[in-house]
Each structure stands twice: as C-alpha cells, then as structure tokens.
Chain A
Amino acid sequence: MFLGRVVGEVWATRKVEDLRSLRLLVVEALDERRDPAAAKVTPVVCADPLGADIGEHVVVAFGKAARVATLGMDGDFAFEAAIVGIVDDFDVPDAPASWKMQDVESLKAARAQRKLGDSGKSAGA
C-alpha cells in the first residue's frame, strides 16, 4: 500500500470484459525523491470505487485487498490495484513540500475553465 496523489484518468474501449464499468485513475506515489531532478516514478493505474478526484491524496492497495475493496469479494478479476481511501489529512513531520495537499475544488474549477477556453477556441476557428 502507498500514499499517492491522483494525477489523471484513463479511458479504454478495447479491454478485458471485467474492466467494464470500472473507473480507472492514474496515481503517482508520494515518495521522497532525494534528487529533485530525478526522473519521476511510473504512475500506477488503479480502480476507483470511491470517486476520487484529480489532485486528491489517496491510499492505494494491491492484490486481494484491492479486489475486496472494489467489488466486495475476491475472485478472478483483471485488476490488482485500487484506491481504498481518500485522504482527508495527514501528519508526517518533515514531509517534503511536494506532499502538501491542494484545494481540489479550485483545481477542478481551473480544469473546467481550461476546457471551456478550448471549446471556445475551436468554435471560433
């Protein structure tokens, strides 16, 4: 399990049958990169039964825990990572600045604004 931050969302049409109706989010682990210039980690894709939003801090579990948390049971399903908690707050003394929680509502508004700007531009063109 790890503490991460939701950075994106994924859509796929051609997929294994039991991924249907699962929301898939892209989560980047919060870890201490000792070198600030170091390459970022590969983000993890997780099933999202809770409805997390981009920018939110989440707890991610793998394997059986992920399947139970998502579907309420274990079994043969084509995913092995899931968001099992949306973080309200955390207290890690000496946490790096990049761990800081952001105001999700303002991020959402900024994204909506950007989308609006895009559609306005394409309508004008």
Chain B
Amino acid sequence: MLIGTVIGNVWATKKDPTLTGLRFLVIRPFTTDGKISAESIVAVDPLGAGIGERVLVVFGRAARHCIGRSHDIGFQAAVSAIIDKMELEDGSTIGPTAREDQPAKR
C-alpha cells in the first residue's frame, strides 16, 4: 500500500472487457523528502477521488477486492481510501490535498 496524489484521469475505449465502466486515475506516489517522484501509477478508483486528492493505493488481490467485481479482473492497483490526514515524525502533517499540508514546526 502506498500514499499518492491524484494527478489525472485516463480513458480507454479499447480495453479488457472486465474493465468496462471503471474509472482510472493517474497517481503520483508520495515521498518523504518532498521531492517529486519520477514514477506514476494507474489505479482503478471505486471511491470517486478527484484531482489533487491524496489517496491510499493497494495492489494485487486487495486491489481486485476493492474494485469489487470478483477476482477475475484485468487490473492490479486500486484506490482503497481517500486520506484525511497523515502525521509524520518530524511534526509535519499532510492534508487531503497539498494545500492543507503543514510543515514541521521548529
């Protein structure tokens, strides 16, 4: 499982039939040093997260279970939660979007 920020949507007309009607999001993983991660993930979103929102992404069996269409589905990653808050050890907090982030207080 990892935390990421939704950075976009993907649409595909020609796709595996098990994926019909599902929403795909492009998600950028969160890094603890504040640098922008070079990788991005595509995940199915059963919850309805919007661009800029922080989400929890799960993989594999857990993801197929989240999508909720039995196990035979052509996808590996899914959004399982929309983050309200994350507190890190240095005292900084990460909000539902980057606007609500609070840096560590010295």
Contact = CB atoms under 8 A, between A and B. Distances in A.
Most buried by B among A6, A16, A19, A54: A16
A90 interface: no
A31 interface: no
A118 B81 contact: no
Interface in A36-67: 39-46, 54-55, 63
B75 to A, nearest CB: 14
Contacts of A107: 89
A63 B65 CA distance: 13
Interface string B63-103: 00110000000000000111111111101000000000000
A39 B58 CA distance: 23
A63 B61 contact: yes
A41 B3 CA distance: 12
Contacts of A15: 47, 56, 80-82
A53 to B, nearest CB: 10
Contacts of A117: 105
A16 B46 contact: yes
A79 B1 contact: yes
A40 B86 CA distance: 18
B84 A44 contact: no
Given A8-B87, A42-B37, A45-B56, A80 B32 contact: no
Given A28-B32, A44-B2, A81-B1, A76 B65 contact: yes
B33 interface: yes
Given A26-B86, A76-B65, A78-B66, A43 B91 contact: no
Interface of B: 1-3, 29-33, 35, 37, 46-47, 56, 58-62, 65-66, 80-89, 91, 105
Interface of A: 6-16, 19, 24, 26, 28, 39-46, 54-55, 63, 76-81, 107, 111, 114, 117-118
